[in-house]
Structure formats: structure tokens, C-alpha cells
Amino acid sequence: MSSSYLGKLVSFCAIFVLLSYLAHCVPYSPLDLRVSLRIQEYDGLLYSIMYGVSFISSPLPATIIVISTAVWLAKAKRILESILIGSATALSSLAIVPLIKSLVDRPRPTADLIQVMISNGGESFPSGHAVYAVVFYGFLFYLLTNLFSRKGFVRTIRILLAVLIVLTMFSRIYLGAHWLSDVMGGFFLGAIILTCNIIVYRYCISRYRGRKRPIFENSH
């Protein structure tokens, strides 16, 4: 394990533990409320955009996207990548997030405080959508240089993935499903899982096989 990844992992863990403790102690902070009220001042087409972005990270669409991606990678003979992206996403969504939600036990935002535009059950911290976005889109972001050789294409897709992560987090606040601190907790938990996934991937690549050529290379 390289020192840079270890340092990042320790930092992410420390921040997440602090956020989890604060979320367990208080239902929301003054900053949470202020940010939600400020964001929800904007209307128009924003609701449709935010709803759409949030929807594609909901359980059913997300499952279809992850399985499709894993199958595509497997067909391209990227079995390790297929296994890691599927297992990390499933483990985080089905086990890690529900466990932490039950331990922190923070209630969702309520309609007497902000606009609650979509119905959500269960606990609020951390945001499962944010965790999913960072783990899944983040690992794709990391893998792109190994999958495609065209730098311009890789750069464009990376920008789109980064924007999608940010919009997913923003949408959960805008729709009244989470507080800012819930989303930040999801971001850092996702960063922990993503970093661990990258560490496993780098270890397996270096130990069990050489660097594979990109799936799609520049044509000459």
C-alpha cells in the first residue's frame, strides 16, 4: 500500500468519524438548515433536473447500471475490474450504508423545517446516493485511463463523471432528502470505500498480472 493512499484513507476515516459523531448528537446543524433553505430558493427546471439525477442513483436504476457496466467489463475480458466495481457497489449499498445508518440513527429532514419534495424512509446519515455516486462513478473515473487510450475522450468522460457526482449530492439536499452533513458523510464514506477498492485493484494488478492494453485504442 503506497503512503499516499494510506494517508488519504486515514484522513477520510477521521473526517467521517467526526461527521458521524456530530450526526448522532444533533438532528441537524444551523449550517445544514441554512444551506437547505438557500438551495431550495431556486425553482423552475431545477426540480426536474435534480429529480432525474437523483432517480438514476436510486436502487433499481443503479442496479441496472452497475450490472450492465460489470457485464460490459467482463465481456471485454476485464474480469477483475468487473468484480471489483460490482462487489464494492453492492457491499456499500446493501451492508455498509444500512449498518451505519442504524448506528448513527439520525432522522430525515422534516416538512416543518424545509421543503421535502420526495418521500424517503429510514435514517438520514449518511446519504446512500452520495456513497453510491462516489464508489461507482469514482472507480470508473479511476479506471478510464486503463480502458481507453484517447486522452481527449477520457478527459471528457471524467468531467462528466465528476459533474454527476456533484449533482447527485446536490440533488439530495435540494429535494429535501438529506442535510448537507448527510451528503458530506456519504461523500467521505464513499471515498473510504473507493480508496480501499483502488488499493485492492492496484495490489492485484501488480501481483497477479501485468498491465493490460486499453479496451479501445487509437486507430492509425
Closest among 122, 147, 141, 102 to 59, alpha carbons compared? 122
* Residue 40 burial class via C-beta count within 10 angstroms: exposed 0-12, middle 13-18, buried 19 and up: middle
> How far is 10 from 206, CA to CA, in rounded Å?
23
Grid cell digits, residue 13: 476515516
The region, left, alpha or beta by phi > 0 then psi within -120 to 50, assigned to residue 122 is left
Closest among 123, 120, 121 to 102, alpha carbons compared? 123
Confidence at residue 4, expressed as pLDDT on a 0 to 100 scale: 84
Residues of the chain with pLDDT under 50: 218-220
Q: Domain extents for the chain?
A: 3-208
Confidence at residue 2, expressed as pLDDT on a 0 to 100 scale: 66
Rounded to an integer, what is the distance from CA 177 to the centroid of its chain? 16
Compute the CA torsion angle 11, 12, 14, 17 (nearest 10 deg): 180
Amino acid symbol at 136: F
Confidence at residue 8, expressed as pLDDT on a 0 to 100 scale: 92
Confidence at residue 149, expressed as pLDDT on a 0 to 100 scale: 82
pTM summary value: 0.91
> How far is 85 from 55, CA to CA, in rounded Å?
20
Confidence at residue 17, expressed as pLDDT on a 0 to 100 scale: 98
> How far is 105 from 75, CA to CA, in rounded Å?
41
List Cβ neighbours of 111 (8 Å cut-off, separation of 6 or more). Answer: 176
Confidence at residue 220, expressed as pLDDT on a 0 to 100 scale: 36
Confidence at residue 219, expressed as pLDDT on a 0 to 100 scale: 40
| Partner residues linked to 216 by β-bridges | 148
